C-alpha cells in the first residue's frame, strides 16, 4: 500500500475531535490534530496542533451549535494548509442490533445508525450529523464507521441477555457496551503480551469497565445505553428500575404526555445525575477535588461513591475471570487522578491488587503496582484515533 492520508472524526456530546495520519504499510504518522470543544457555549475552544504537537491555532469562539463548530473544521480542512484525505474514519458510538461490523458509510447506513439514537442520545445525533456533512464536504472520498460496540461483540449471551421478556429482546434491548475503541486501543498497546485475565477501567466523563479474556471482551459495565454501569459525570449508572418507575410516575403528574415524561426522565438520568447529581456541584473530577479540599461533603460523597462502585465492579470481574493478571486505568480520570486510583485500589489487597504510592504519583503511562503485587496495575492512555485509522486501512484493502 502506498502512503495514504486518513482523516479521523471523533465526536463527543459537546466536542468534535479531528486528526489525520499518513498510513503506509505498518507505519502511522500523525500529521495534525485538533478539536472544537464546548459546543453550545460562548466560550468554546478551537485548537489545532501540528505533527510535532505545537499549537498552530488556539482560539476561543462562540459555538452556539454543532453546525458552527463543524464549519470551523470544514474550513480548515479545505484551506489547502492540510493534505486532502484519501479516506475518512468516523467514531460511531452505537450500531444498534443490526450494525455489528465496521463498514463503509452510505446514506442508508447513516439513517440506520440514526434510527438507534435513543441508545446513545448524547452521541449519535452529533455523530450522524458529522457523517452527513463529511459526505458532502469530500464527495467521492470513502467514509467508514468504526463502532464503539464492535469490541463487545464477543460477550457471551449470559452477559448480553437482559432479564426481560423475549419480545423486548427482539426489539434490540440487550447489553451492547461502549468505549470499545478505547478498549481495543489498550489491547493494541499491550500486544504481543496481552495478559489472559485483564480488567480495563475507562474512567472519563463517561466511565465504564470491562473484563477481557485473551484480548476478547467477556463482560462490560455499560449495557443498552451509556447511562448504565458505573456512575459517570452526569449519568446514573446502574440503579434500581423501580426508581425509574417512581420518578416517571412523579414526572407524569405534571407531564401527562408519555413522550414528554420520558424525555424529562432521560434528562435526569443522563445529564443531571452521576457525580453532578450526588455532589450538587460539578460533573468534573478536577472541580470535585477542589471542592473536597475546601471541605465540601457532597463532593466527597460523590467521589467516594464513584470509587466504591468501581471497586465493587473490579471484584465481580475477578470472580467472572476466575482471577486477575492485570488492571489497567485509562480515560481522563484514570490517567490523571492519582487519588482516585489509590482510593479504588486501597481495599483490593485481598484480590492481589497492591498499588505503590510513589509509582502511582504520576499522570500518564506508568506501571503503578508494587513489586510484590500479584496483579500488575498500569495506567495507559487510549489511542482511539490509531484504532480508527487501522480499521479504515483494513477496510480499504478489502
Ligand atoms: P475524558 O472524558 O476522558 O476526557 O475525561 C474527563 C474527566 O477527566 C473529567 O472528570 C476531568 O475532570 C478528569 N480529569 C482530567 N484531568 C484531570 C486531572 N489532572 N486530575 C483529575 N481529573 C482529571
Give the closest residue to 209 by CA, choosing from 120, 306, 90.
306
Residue whose Cα lies nearest atom 12 of ligand 1: it is 285
Q: Catalytic residue numbers?
A: 148
Could you give the dihedral angle defined by the CA atoms of residues 111, 116, 118 and 124, in that order, rounded to the nearest 10 degrees?
Answer: -60
Q: What is the pLDDT of residue 79?
A: 87
Going from the Cα of 67 to the center of ligand 1, the distance in angstroms, rounded, reads 26
Task: Judge whether 18 and 7 are in contact, CB under 8 Å.
Answer: yes
* Annotation: CATH topology of 194-379: Nucleotidyltransferase; domain 5 (3.30.420)
Closest ligand 1 atom to residue 286 Cα is 12
Task: Judge whether 78 and 137 are in contact, CB under 8 Å.
Answer: yes
Going from the Cα of 226 to the center of ligand 1, the distance in angstroms, rounded, reads 18
- Residue ranges of the chain assigned to CATH 3.30.420.40: 5-147, 194-379
**In degrees, to the nearest 5, what angle opens at C-alpha 218 toward C-alphas 213 and 224?**
155
Q: What is the pLDDT of residue 143?
A: 98
CATH of 5-147, one of 3.40.390.10, 3.90.1150.10, 3.30.420.40, 3.40.50.2300: 3.30.420.40
With 0-12 CB in 10 A as exposed, 13-18 as middle and 19+ as buried, what is 73?
A: buried
| Residue from 122, 337, 344, 381 whose mutation best tests the ligand 1 pocket (most atoms within 8 A of CB) | 337
The per-residue pLDDT string of the chain (398 residues; one tens digit each, 9 = 90 and over) reads 578 999 999 998 789 999 999 999 889 999 999 999 999 999 999 999 999 999 999 999 999 999 999 999 999 998 888 888 999 999 999 999 999 999 999 999 999 999 999 888 889 999 999 999 999 999 999 999 999 999 999 999 999 999 999 999 999 999 999 999 999 999 999 999 999 999 999 999 999 999 999 999 999 999 999 999 999 999 999 999 999 999 999 999 999 999 999 999 999 999 999 999 999 999 999 999 999 999 999 999 999 999 999 999 999 999 999 999 999 999 999 999 999 999 999 999 999 999 999 999 999 999 999 999 999 999 999 999 999 999 999 999 98
Closest ligand 1 atom to residue 363 Cα is 19
Give the closest residue to 77 by CA, choosing from 100, 57, 106, 105.
57
Q: What is the pLDDT of residue 1?
A: 59
Distance in angstroms (rounded) separating the CA atoms of residues 290 and 73: 34
Q: Which residues have C-beta within 8 Å of that of residue 265, sequence separation ≥ 6?
A: 244, 247, 248, 251
Going from the Cα of 100 to the center of ligand 1, the distance in angstroms, rounded, reads 30
| Residue from 336, 364, 383 whose mutation best tests the ligand 1 pocket (most atoms within 8 A of CB) | 336
Residue whose Cα lies nearest atom 19 of ligand 1: it is 336
Taking the CB of residue 241, how many other CB atoms lie within 10 A of it?
9
Q: What is the pLDDT of residue 25?
A: 83
Which helix H or strand E contains 396, and what residues bound it? helix 384-396
Residue whose Cα lies nearest atom 4 of ligand 1: it is 332
Q: What is the pLDDT of residue 101?
A: 96
Give the pocket of ligand 1 (CB within 6 Å): 204-205, 233, 284-286, 331-333, 336-337
Q: What is the pLDDT of residue 398?
A: 85
Cell triple for residue 253?
A: 403528574
Going from the Cα of 386 to the center of ligand 1, the distance in angstroms, rounded, reads 21
Residue whose Cα lies nearest atom 8 of ligand 1: it is 332
Residue whose Cα lies nearest atom 17 of ligand 1: it is 336
pTM of the predicted protein model: 0.95
Going from the Cα of 358 to the center of ligand 1, the distance in angstroms, rounded, reads 21
Amino acid at each position: 500500500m502506498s502512503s495514504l492520508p486518513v482523516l479521523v472524526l471523533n465526536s463527543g456530546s459537546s466536542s468534535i475531535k479531528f486528526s489525520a495520519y499518513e498510513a503506509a504499510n505498518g507505519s502511522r504518522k500523525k500529521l495534525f490534530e485538533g478539536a472544537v470543544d464546548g459546543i453550545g457555549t460562548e466560550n468554546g475552544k478551537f485548537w489545532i496542533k501540528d505533527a510535532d504537537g505545537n499549537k498552530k491555532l488556539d482560539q476561543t469562539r462562540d459555538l452556539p451549535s454543532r453546525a458552527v463548530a463543524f464549519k470551523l473544521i470544514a474550513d480548515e480542512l479545505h484551506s489547502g494548509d492540510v493534505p486532502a484525505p484519501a479516506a475518512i474514519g468516523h467514531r460511531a458510538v452505537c450500531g444498534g442490533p443490526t450494525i455489528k461490523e465496521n463498514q463503509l458509510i452510505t446514506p442508508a447506513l447513516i439513517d440506520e445508525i440514526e434510527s438507534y439514537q435513543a441508545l446513545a442520545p448524547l452521541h449519535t445525533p452529533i455523530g450522524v450529523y458529522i457523517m452527513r456533512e463529511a459526505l458532502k464536504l469530500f464527495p467521492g472520498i470513502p467514509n467508514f464507521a468504526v463502532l464503539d460496540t464492535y469490541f463487545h461483540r464477543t460477550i457471551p449471551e449470559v452477559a448480553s441477555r437482559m432479564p426481560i421478556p423475549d419480545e423486548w429482546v427482539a426489539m434490540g434491548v440487550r447489553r451492547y457496551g461502549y468505549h470499545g475503541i478505547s478498549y481495543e486501543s489498550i489491547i493494541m498497546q499491550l500486544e504481543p503480551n496481552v495478559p489472559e485475565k485483564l480488567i480495563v477501567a475507562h474512567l472519563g466523563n463517561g466511565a465504564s469497565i470491562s473484563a477481557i479474556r485473551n484480548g476478547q471482551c467477556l463482560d462490560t459495565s455499560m449495557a443498552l445505553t451509556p447511562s448504565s454501569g458505573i456512575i459517570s459525570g452526569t449519568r446514573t449508572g446502574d440503579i434500581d428500575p423501580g426508581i425509574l418507575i417512581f420518578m416517571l410516575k412523579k414526572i407524569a403528574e405534571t407531564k401527562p404526555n408519555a413522550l414528554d415524561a420520558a424525555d424529562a426522565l432521560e434528562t435526569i438520568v443522563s445529564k443531571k445525575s452521576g457525580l453532578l447529581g450526588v455532589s450538587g456541584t460539578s460533573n468534573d473530577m478536577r472541580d470535585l477535588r477542589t471542592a473536597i479540599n475546601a471541605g465540601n461533603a457532597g463532593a466527597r460523597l460523590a467521589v467516594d461513591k464513584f470509587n466504591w462502585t468501581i471497586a465493587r465492579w473490579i471484584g465481580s470481574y475477578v470472580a467472572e475471570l476466575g482471577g486477575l493478571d492485570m488492571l489497567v486505568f485509562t480515560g481522563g480520570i484514570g490517567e490523571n487522578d492519582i487519588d482516585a486510583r489509590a482510593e479504588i485500589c486501597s481495599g483490593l489487597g485481598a484480590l492481589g491488587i497492591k498499588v505503590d504510592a510513589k509509582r502511582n504519583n504520576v499522570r500518564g503511562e506508568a506501571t503503578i503496582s508494587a513489586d510484590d503485587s500479584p496483579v500488575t496495575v498500569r495506567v495507559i492512555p487510549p489511542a482511539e484515533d490509531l484504532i480508527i485509522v487501522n480499521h479504515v486501512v483494513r477496510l480499504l484493502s478489502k
